[in-house]
A and B are shown apart, each in its own frame.
Chain A
Amino acid sequence: MSQRLEKLPVYEPKRLLRLTNARILSQVFFFAAFVLAVWATWTSRLGGYPVSRILEMDPLVTLSTALATGYVYRFLGWGLLILGLTLVFGRVFCNWICPYGTLHQFVGWLFNTRTSAERWASNRYRPIYYLKYAILTVFLIMSAFGALQIGLLDPICLMYRTFATAVAPASDALVDTANTRLGVDGVWLDSLKFAPGVERRVFVGSFWIGTVLFLLVGMNVVIPRFFCRALCPLGALLGVFSRFALVRINRDLHKCTDCNMCMARCEGASDPQSQVRLSECFACMNCIDDCPEDALSYTMFRLDTKQVVPAPEMGRRRLVFAGIAGVAALPLVKNNGVNTDENYSDLLIRPPGSVEESEFLERCIKCDQCINVCPTNVLQPATFAEAGVEGLWTPVMNFNIGHCQLKCTLCSEVCPTGAIRKITVEEKMGKGGFTKDGPIRLGTAFYDFGRCLPHAMEIPCVVCEEVCPTSPKAIQTKDVETKDVFGKIVVLNKPFIVPDLCIGCGICQTECPVTDSRAVYVTPVGESRSTERRLLLNHRGVTV
Chain B
Amino acid sequence: MSEGEKTGKQHPDYVKAPMSRRRFASRVAAVLGLGGAAGYLAGAPAGWPLSLRDPTGRRSEPVKKPVQLGDYRVAVRAGAPDVTVARGGPSIAQRLRRALAPYGGIEAFVSPGDIVMVKPNVAFDRAPILGATSQPELLTELIKLLLIDARAQEVRVADNPIESPPDCFEKSGIRRATEEAGGRIYLPDSTAFKMLNTPGATLIEYWPVFHRPLTNVDKVIGVAPVKDHNLCHASMGMKNWYGLLGGRRNQFHQDIHEIVSDLSLMMRPTLTILDGSQILMKNGPTGGDPSDVKPGDAVLCGVDPVALDAWAFEHLLERGRRYPRYLEMAQGKRTGILDWTGRVEEVAS
Contacts and interface: CB of A to CB of B under 8 A. Distances in A.
A71 interface: yes
Interface in A15-54: none
A62 B61 contact: no
Interface string A256-267: 111000000000
Contact of B9 (A70, A254, A535): A254
Interface in A281-336: 300, 302-306
Interface string A429-453: 0000000000000000000000000
A418 B24 CA distance: 40
B42 A256 contact: no
Contact of B251 (A66, A83, A534): A534
Nearest to B16: A304
Nearest to B53: A72
Contact of B61 (A79, A302, A355): A355
Interface string A50-90: 00000000000010001001111110110110011001100
Nearest to B20: A305
Q: Which of B9, B41, B54, B55 has the most CB of A within 10 A?
A: B54
A538 B57 contact: no
A66 B42 contact: yes
A87 B254 contact: no
A418 B55 CA distance: 9
A80 B35 contact: yes
A250 to B, nearest CB: 9
B53 A421 contact: no
A531 B10 contact: no
Contact of A538 (B35, B52, B247, B254): B254
Interface in B15-39: 16-19, 24, 27-28, 30-31, 34-35, 38-39
B9 A74 contact: no
Interface string A209-227: 0000000000000000000
A267 B60 CA distance: 40
A335 to B, nearest CB: 12
Nearest to B203: A537
A421 B58 contact: yes
B60 A71 contact: yes
A302 B254 CA distance: 78
A439 to B, nearest CB: 18
B18 A80 contact: no
A255 B8 CA distance: 8
Contacts of A531: 247-248
B54 A72 contact: yes
B10 A257 contact: yes
Contacts of B9: 254-255
B146 to A, nearest CB: 36
B215 interface: no
Contacts of B248: 341, 531-532, 534
A87 B11 contact: no
A66 B203 CA distance: 35
11 contacts: A72-B42, A72-B54, A83-B38, A246-B28, A254-B9, A256-B10, A304-B17, A306-B17, A355-B61, A535-B251, A537-B255
Q: Which 10 A-B pairs have the closest CB atoms?
A: A254-B8, A421-B57, A71-B54, A418-B57, A77-B42, A71-B60, A537-B254, A77-B43, A69-B60, A306-B17
Interface of B: 8-11, 14, 16-19, 24, 27-28, 30-31, 34-35, 38-39, 41-43, 52-62, 203, 247-248, 251-252, 254-255
Interface of A: 62, 66, 69-74, 76-77, 79-80, 83-84, 87-88, 244, 246, 253-258, 300, 302-306, 341, 355, 359, 418, 421-422, 531-532, 534-538
Given A254-B16, A418-B57, 16 more contacts: A62-B42, A69-B60, A71-B52, A79-B42, A80-B35, A80-B39, A246-B24, A253-B10, A255-B10, A258-B10, A300-B24, A359-B60, A359-B61, A418-B60, A537-B252, A537-B255
